[in-house]
Chain A
Amino acid sequence: MASVHAYQQTGRVRFWDRLNISTKRVIWAWTFLALPILFYTGIRFYPTFQAFWLSLTNWDLLRPAQFIGLANYQKMFADPIFWKVFQNTFLYLLVGTPLSLLISFVIAYYLDRVRFMHGFIRALYFLPFLTTAAAMGWVWRWFYQPVPIGVINSVLSTIGIEQQPFLRSTTQALPAVLVPAIWAGLGFQIIIFMAGLRAIPGTFYEAARIDGLGDWAILRKITIPLLKPTTVFLVVFSSIGFLRIFDQVYNMTTNDPGGPLNATKPLVLMIYQTAFSSYQMGYAAAQTVVLFTILLIVSLLQLYVLREKK
């Protein structure tokens, strides 16, 4: 774009031509970066600082924001609902991440060795990853309905197991919401695990076989250690996903979002309600700062684990 301008004005042409090649390239570089720098400043960095600032105010959309110090944080930490939500969020994380990684690793490990109809079976596992969580929330919600509507309860009743309340129960609702979240993510994790498995050089396995190691020993001594970068990536990726869970919960509990009795409410849903149902923007901003801190710790842990390896 700089050159277009330059050629339009003869005076500029001489100026542009007089520059040496590396100066020209620096000008090109900053021209390419101009709009992106504006974007990242205005739409990423400035809002980040603004969120921190708003968390220290009592802004409610109606009156201008007033500085109230740490009052939002005091209110939050004194709020039993916040701690319930905090606990739920970590339950999603601490159950969802290990469970989904274990399942996807086992499937990837065996699927990798299968040749017959490999593409078809892989597609079956991958398809749910392409679905919309908002839509699937409703499909699963239907699955969980009592007899005669719900599929799961109907199956249970035909094999003689009593009906389960699922989404209506304060203890079963959270796992019931977690299942579709795990289900939707498995395909992605399986594909990434298989890519990681393929990246392990075959010579390692041959050497191990010559040494007389069995399948189990090879898995423990070669496959799992060499798969560590892939596993760390997936742990972080899915941890962040579970910490930010929202779509499934919102859609599976629309009549009482996060219910029953906040049993399924994750932090992001609490943020959504505080900000866009009760319009306590300052208070909601303080909650987003907590989410930010948790995600930051998870990301830093990843860096730490990866560094340790080198």
Chain B
Amino acid sequence: MTATTTSATELAANRRDIRPGRIITWTLLLIGGLIMVTPLLFMFSTSLKTAGQVYDLKLIPAAPTLDNYIKVLGDGRFMQWFLNSTFIAITVTASNVFFDSLVGYTLAKFEFRGRYFIFLAILSTLMIPTEMLVIPWYLMSSQLGWLNSYWGIMFPGMMTAFGTFLMKQFFEGVPNDFLEAARVDGLNEFTIWWKIAMPMVVPAISALAIFTFLGNWTAFFWPLIVTTSKELYTLPVGISSFSAEASIQWELIMTGAAIGTIPTLLVFLALQRFIVRGVMLAGLKG
């Protein structure tokens, strides 16, 4: 799994790797991987070039400059969009972690009439595409004055069936003995969930958090519809409108795209193993 730790078995595996076929496979995989990141490399490289250098397609700029970043970040628009996106993604993620877990836990660990019905009802919403709901949501938002507000951007995603289902799967694996013991100790049900059950499903929580954050950070369709004033744009909507305005100033467009990409890349580099495991967990159980 990891390339950094070298145990005896891995050393043996490495030795087996050293065969012509293996070397060719490895080289091809590396080339493929480099092709995958080429668009990102060109994006970063061009964001460090002056307008005159854009046409010279060297990957390493002759005289790298941060001028584009100063220019793009200068008027504060990108900063505002960045803060909007961060606030929205964090709030929605927190809400999903709280409510999806609570509902998943209730459906997994409580006995009551109607439990299966509620579960099926929530699960059935997975079949409803967002695109079908945006028109009613737009109507609802305009009637309730939610257009052009953080809440208007956030409300559709505050809970998700996917997250609820994922958390239910994991809570089912929590042994009842622990919960019973807590009950005997006189803890109330909310405390049992929050203090006893939640710490036992941390991997699932992090998987849910990663997915929700990423999904909301990159969300485009609904924020595009619900926001009309530039101050409330999220980063993707901002990048889109900025790029359309910048027209053929590709170095500025690449800088905007880079600003939108850098935060998630940094988070990924810091938490790579964690994120990959989270994606695997969510993909296999979800």
Residues of chain A having any CB pair with chain B under 8 Å: 1, 3, 22, 25-26, 28-30, 32-33, 35-37, 39-40, 43-48, 50-51, 54, 107, 110-111, 113-128, 130-140, 142-143, 148-149, 151, 154, 180, 183, 186-188, 191-192, 194-196, 199, 230, 233, 240, 244, 246-247, 250-251, 254-255, 268, 271-272, 275-276, 281, 284-285, 288-289, 291-292, 295-296, 299
Contact = CB atoms under 8 A, between A and B. Distances in A.
B136 A116 contact: no
B131 to A, nearest CB: 5
Contacts of A134: 218, 220, 236-237, 239-240, 260
| Residue among A48, A138, A250, A284 facing the most chain B CB atoms (10 A cut-off) | A138
A250 B55 contact: no
B284 A195 contact: yes
21 contacts: A32-B193, A51-B135, A51-B136, A114-B17, A114-B25, A119-B272, A123-B272, A124-B37, A125-B32, A130-B214, A132-B218, A135-B239, A136-B39, A137-B240, A138-B243, A149-B250, A247-B236, A255-B244, A275-B134, A281-B135, A292-B128
B257 A192 contact: no
A171 B110 CA distance: 57
Interface in B11-31: 13-14, 17, 22, 25-26, 28-30
A295 B129 CA distance: 8
Contact of B37 (A33, A127, A194, A196): A127
| Residue among A120, A134, A276 facing the most chain B CB atoms (10 A cut-off) | A134
Contacts of B260: 131-132, 134-135
B204 interface: no
B70 interface: no
A254 B110 contact: no
Which applies to chain A's interface (DSSP): helix, strand, loop or mixed? helix
A292 B132 contact: yes
A180 B43 CA distance: 14
B250 A132 contact: no
| Residue among B110, B140, B256 facing the most chain A CB atoms (10 A cut-off) | B110
Contacts of B28: 110
A295 B134 CA distance: 16
A111 B29 contact: yes
| Residue among A50, A124, A128, A292 facing the most chain B CB atoms (10 A cut-off) | A124
A44 to B, nearest CB: 4
Contacts of B236: 132-135, 247
A271 B110 contact: no
B40 interface: yes
Interface in B181-232: 188-190, 193, 214, 217-218, 220-221, 224-225
A40 to B, nearest CB: 6
Which applies to chain B's interface (DSSP): helix, strand, loop or mixed? helix
B136 A47 contact: yes
Contact of B102 (A32, A138, A275): A32
Nearest to B242: A138
B243 A22 contact: no
A32 B239 CA distance: 39
B218 A47 contact: no
Given A107-B32, A132-B236, A127 B265 contact: yes
Contact of B132 (A40, A191, A276, A289): A289
Contact of A131 (B103, B118, B261, B279): B261
B59 to A, nearest CB: 10
Contact of A121 (B33, B132, B235, B284): B33
Interface string B126-147: 1111111111111110000000
Contacts of A32: 102-103, 105-106, 110, 189-190, 193
Contact of B158 (A33, A39, A196, A240): A39
A151 B57 contact: yes
B135 A139 contact: no
B283 A36 contact: no
A57 to B, nearest CB: 11
A247 B131 contact: no
